Amino acid sequence: MEQISEIAQLIGSYGVSIIIVVIFLWDYIANKKKNLENQELIKNTLITVDKTSMTISNCLKEMQQQNLNTAKSLELLQNQMENTDKKIDILIEKR
């Protein structure tokens, strides 16, 4: 019985302090867990952004190659049209 009264007296004397310490520890643990979850989310987001950047980079390289191919095709078409014009001019002069 004496031990119970001592415990009650300790709680009476230090109850507010104990409650504050318990709340502080609970808040610290909860925030630590949230921080770890946020760090994991940020890590996953950065990985996704990196993959997206690589995909965009590859698309831009393909577009650049397609533009070069289109430019070459247009150049060949222009040369062919010039040759055709010259041939037509030669045929017209012969008549």
Tens digit of each residue's pLDDT, the chain (95 residues): 777 787 777 777 777 777 778 778 888 999 999 999 999 999 999 999 999 999 999 999 999 999 999 999 999 999 999 999 998 988 888 87
Burial (CB count <10 Å: 0-12, 13-18, 19+), residue 55: exposed
DSSP the chain: -HHHHHHHHHHHHHHHHHHHHHHHHHHHHHHHHHHHHHHHHHHHHHHHHHHHHHHHHHHHHHHHHHHHHHHHHHHHHHHHHHHHHHHHHHHHHH-
